[in-house]
Amino acid sequence: MRVGVVRCGFRHVTRLPHPAAGASRRVAGTDASGGRAPRPGPAPPPSGPGRRQRGYGGGVTSTNSAAAWTVHRAGERYEGGDAQAGVTTRHSFSFGPHYDPDNLRFGALLAVNEERLAPGAGFAEHPHSHTEIVTWVAEGVLAHRDSAGHTTTVRPGDLQHLSAASGVRHEEREGGGDGRDLVFTQMWLAPRQPGGDPSYTVRRALPAPVARYEVPAAGAVLHVHRPAPGALVEPPRAPYLYVHVVRGTLRLADGAALAPGDALRARGGAPALTALDAAEVLVWEMAD
């Protein structure tokens, strides 16, 4: 395997208005491997209970009187990255050459990318603008450097937030130097307003079992849950909810299980989940 740096090219996301109910639009430049990004497209029409929706990873819609949700399995995500360079990526939304007009965004979320970087691998310096980029490290050490002068390492339990605003360049690499892979989930959100000055934040050692991190520029709050076996994860009520399982297995009230890499997208509210073992779950609460 040829381990090295992926040339990211132009990785810019333009601002879009925050979606009204049912809207879904995104514009982007290229992905980490240099492919062209998607053009904006229309949202899919609502579907009834049990109907499969094109472009939503085969997600099955469930409904109750107050909310509707879909489950999206890890194996249905788009594959990206560059295996020869030691980069493996799984995209939850339309991204780069994986263009799906029915799966461009959900609420403020533009991307949920699971990344695995082999020792020494990484993404070369590339630009972003008008994007809130939040990164959760699951394993290994992430080395970050940006054009605003920040040079940091991010470890499991830490949360990184880069607000690209009017424009910033950065690079990301496996930085542990101990022969282990780096595994992280990176999430992109659309800000409500364009422009401003870039900013960078690292929250160290978020408290367990629940931590809260606000991204006011995108009208969003991230809840990081690390439940013990048997504990409940109860998502808040919100216009948009996105639940992503990083590790462990959780069970929905209807008996369905969510495994690592699985996700649940909900409007209005989402069912509680019971941890079947020690788990790590990212829950995005987003406004209209």
What is the per-residue pLDDT for 84? 93
pLDDT digits (tens, 9 = 90+) for 19-31: 333 333 222 333 3
**pLDDT confidence tier of residue 64, bands split at 50, 70 and 90:** very low
pLDDT value at 210 more than 50: yes
Class of domain 5-286: mainly beta
Sequence-distant (6+) residues with CB within 8 A of 206 are 157, 158, 159, 213, 224
**pLDDT confidence tier of residue 161, bands split at 50, 70 and 90:** very high
pLDDT digits (tens, 9 = 90+) for 227-245: 999 999 999 999 999 999 9
Average pLDDT over residues 206-221: 98
Per domain, the residue ranges of the chain are 5-286
What is the per-residue pLDDT for 67? 61
What is the per-residue pLDDT for 189? 98
Beta bridge partners of 55: none
Contact 213, 224 (CB under 8 A): yes
What is the per-residue pLDDT for 68? 86
pLDDT value at 39 more than 80: no
Q: Which two tokens stand for residue 149?
A: 């002068």
Q: Which two tokens stand for residue 113?
A: 């990318």
Contact 258, 245 (CB under 8 A): yes
Percent residues over pLDDT 90 in the chain: 74
Q: What is the mean pLDDT of the chain?
A: 82
The Cα 245–Cα 235 span in angstroms is: 13
The Cα 282–Cα 43 span in angstroms is: 24
Burial 91-113 (b: 16+ CB within 10 A, else e): bbbbbbebbbbebbbbbbbbbbb
pLDDT value at 287 more than 90: yes
pLDDT value at 75 more than 90: yes
Contact 269, 241 (CB under 8 A): yes
Which residue did the predictor score with more confidence, 32 or 213? Answer: 213
The helices-and-strands tally (H runs, E runs) of the chain is 0, 23
pLDDT digits (tens, 9 = 90+) for 89-106: 999 999 988 899 999 999
